[in-house]
Structure 1
Amino acid sequence: MAKGKKKGMRGRAGRMQGGRGSGRAAKGQVRLWGRHAVEAALRNPRRQHRKLWATLEGLDSLDGELPPDFPLERAEVTDLARLVAKDAPHQGLVLECAPLDDLLLADVLSSKDGRPLVVLDQVTDPHNVGAILRSAAAFDAAAIVTQDRHAPPESGVVAKSASGALETVPWIRVVNLARALEEMAEAGYWRIGLAGEAEATFAEALPTGPVAVVLGAEGEGMRHNVGQHCDALARLPISDAMESLNVSNAGAIALYAIATRQ
C-alpha cells in the first residue's frame, strides 16, 4: 500500500455500495480486522488480497492509499459486525485475503544472523500466539516455530493480537518439533526450555550465542520429549506469590533478557 493522501481514499470509498456479509470467509481465505492488522496486511507484498470492507472512518484511519482497482466495499459498522467474530474490535476495517505461504525452517537457519527463535510447544490459544508474535517483532526475533498441528491457524484473532506482527515475523510450521530443535542445534542455536521447576534462572542459562527459547503449552507446560531436546531448562525468577506467568508474558520477558544480555 503506497503512501498517499487519505482524501483520495475517502473519495473512492464514497462511490462504493454498502455491503453485507455472511460472517464466513470464502473457502481458503482468512479475514483480518482492526487497523494495525489490516494496514500491515495491505502493506505486505506476500499477501494476496480478495476484498476490503470498510467504513469511511476506517478508511480514513489508514496510513496510505489503496491502488485504484483494489476490491473495496463501503460498509456500515453493523455490516462489519456480521463479517467477524462476535464483539471483535474491527475498528471499521475487515480484510479478506489468502493465508500466507508456508515458510521453511531451513531458510531462517541459513541466514545465520544470530537473532533468537521462539519455539511454541502446543500453545493453542490464538491470543497468546498473537501476543508472542508481537513480542517477537518488538525484540527482533528471527521467527516463531510451531507444529503444523496443535497450534492455531492463521486468523483474525491471531492477527489482531499480533498488532501487525503476523505480517513481519516469519511463522514456521513443522511436522516434528523435536526434529526442528535438532536442526536448530546443528545451526548453532542453544535451546533453552522455560520450566518453572528448573534450578537455573533464565539469565544463568543464557549463552553468548544464538538462542532458541522453548515455551510449553498453557497449563500443561512443555512436553517431556521436547524438554529432552533442549540444551538447558531454566525458570524465570518470579515471586512465590504467583505460581506461573501467562505464556505470552513469559516469552516477552525471555526475549527482553536475550536482547539486553551483556
Structure 2
Amino acid sequence: MRTIEGKNPVKEALKSGAKITEVYISNSAKDKETAQIIDLCRQNGVVVKFVDKHKIYKMAQTKNPQGVIAIAHEFEYCDIDDILFEAKKSGEEPFLVLLDGITDPQNFGSIIRSAHLCGVHGIVIETRNSCPVTPAVEKASAGAVEYMKIARVVNLRRTIEELKEKGIWVFAADANGSKPVYECDFTIPTCVVIGSEGKGITRLVKEGADFLIKIPQKGYVNSFNASVAAGIIFFEVLKQRLKEGEIKGALDG
C-alpha cells in the first residue's frame, strides 16, 4: 500500500479512479476543498476516518500533508506498449518522455505535471538511478501522476533502440545540442529525453538519440533546471501539434 498526501493529490486520485481503501482527514479541516474530498469519498464508496491532526503528521511521508492522507494500492507501472496504445487510442502521433537519472522527487513530480498538461502519452524511467513514484512525487505533480502512464525499464539505451525500430524519433535535451528546440519537427512520433541536474544525459543515451536539442538562453548560469527545461520543450511539442490540429481535447486557457 502507499500513501497519497495533500488535498489536491488526494482529490485527483479520487477523481481518476485510483484504488483507494480509506482517507484520513484531520478533525480541524473544515475548508471547501476538504468538503469536496469527503463528497468524492462518498461517491466512490471510500471510507473516511476523522482523526487528530497529530496522527496525520505521524502517518505522513511529506512535510505538509495538509490534513489529508489517502491509503491506496501501490502505483501500477505499465509497459512501453501500453504507452504506445494510449497514443493510438487518442488518434495522435506518439509523444513519450524518457528520464535519464532524474532522482529528485520534486523535479520528477513537476515533470509529470507538465507532461500531463502538454499531452505526453507516457513517461519512461530506469529501474536504477531514477526516482520512483513516491508520496513526494505525487504531491509535486499535484495529482497528475494518477493520469500518467509510467513505464520502468532496465536499460534506457536498449529502450531507445526499440523505440526507434517502432518509428519514433528521439530528441535528447543537451545544453551543447546543435539544434534549437524551435527548429525541431515534433509533429512526428516523438520521444524527448531529459537528463539529470548537473550530469545531464549519459553518454550511451546521448549516442542513441537522433537529435541533440538545446533551449536558447541568456545569462551566466549554464542551464535550466531539469523540470523547467522539460516544461519548455513539452510546450513546444504541444504548440506544434495544436497548429497541426492533432491534439484532442486541448484547452485554450
Q: TM-score, normalised by structure 2?
A: 0.85
Structure 1 unpaired stretches of 5+ = 1-28
Deviation at 1:50, TM superposition (A): 3.1
Letter of the 2:95 counterpart? P
Report the equivalent of 2:76.
101
Equivalent position amino acid for 1:218 in 2: E
Q: Does 1:57 align with 2:44?
A: no
Cα distance in 2 for partners of 1:60, 1:80 equals 17
Give the Cα–Cα distance (whole angstroms) in 2 for the partners of residues 168 and 238 of structure 1: 32
More helix by share: 2
Is 1:35–1:61's contact at 8 Å kept on the other side of the alignment? no
Match of 2:176 among 184, 197, 202: 197
Identify if the C-alpha distance between structure 1 residues 208 and 153 changes in structure 2 by more than 3 Å, giving closer, same or farther: closer
Contact 1:146 1:172 in 2 (8 A): yes
How many residues are paired up? 232
Report whether the alignment pairs 1:42 with 2:14. Answer: yes
> Is the alpha carbon distance of 1:64 and 1:185 closer, same or farther for their aligned partners in structure 2, counting shifts above 3 Å?
farther
- For residue 76 of structure 1, report the CA deviation from its aligned partner: 2.6
TM-score w.r.t. the length of structure 1 is 0.82
Given the superposition, is the C-alpha separation of residues 70 and 260 from structure 1 closer, same or farther in structure 2, using an over 3 Å criterion?
A: closer
Query: Do 1:53 and 1:72's aligned partners in 2 also have CA atoms closer than 8 Å?
Result: yes
RMSD: 1.9
Q: CA deviation at 1:213?
A: 0.6
Q: Deviations over 1:54-77 (max 9, x none)?
A: 024263242733238533211232
Aligned-pair CA distance for 1:242:
2.6
Give the Å deviation of 1:44: 2.9
- Larger mean CA deviation between 106-115 and 186-195 belongs to 106-115
- CA pair 60-105 structure 1, distance change in 2 beyond 3 A: same
The percent of aligned pairs where both chains have the same amino acid is: 26
Task: Give distance in 2, aligned partners of 1:66 and 1:166.
Answer: 19
- For 1:78, the equivalent position in structure 2 comes to 54
Residue 94 of structure 1, CA deviation: 0.5
Is the 2:171–2:191 contact (alpha carbons within 8 Å) kept by the matching residues of 1?
A: yes
Aligned AA (1:148): T
User: Which secondary structure state, in structure 1, belongs to the residue aligned with residue 30 of structure 2?
Assistant: helix
Residue by residue over 1:83-132, the C-alpha shift from the partner in whole angstroms, topping out at 9 and shown as x without a partner, is: 1136x221221012111223110122244321421110011101111000
Kindly indicate whether the alpha-carbon contact (under 8 Å) linking 1:120 and 1:146 is maintained by their aligned counterparts in 2: yes
Moved more, 239-248 or 139-148: 239-248
- For the pair 1:157 / 2:136, whether they are aligned, the reply is yes
Alpha carbons 1:99, 1:154 under 8 Å: kept:
no
CA distance in structure 1 between the aligned counterparts of 2:66 and 2:141, rounded to whole angstroms: 15
Task: Could you list the structure 1 runs, at least 4 aligned residues long, displaced by more than 4 angstroms after superposition.
Answer: none
CA contact (8 A) 1:192 1:214 kept: yes
Look up the match of 1:179: 158
Query: Counterpart of 1:251?
Result: 230
Is 1:212 aligned to residue 191 of structure 2? Answer: yes
Instruction: Indicate if the aligned counterparts of 1:178 and 1:229 stay in contact, CA closer than 8 A.
Output: yes
CA spacing shift, 1:92–1:207, aligned 2, 3 Å: closer
Matches within 5 A, 1:93-132: 93-110=68-85, 111-112=87-88, 113-132=92-111
Higher strand residue share:
2
Whose radius of gyration is greater, 1 or 2? 1
| Letter of the 1:109 counterpart | L
Q: Distance in 2 between matches of 1:122 and 1:82?
A: 31
**Secondary structure at 2:200 match in 1:** coil
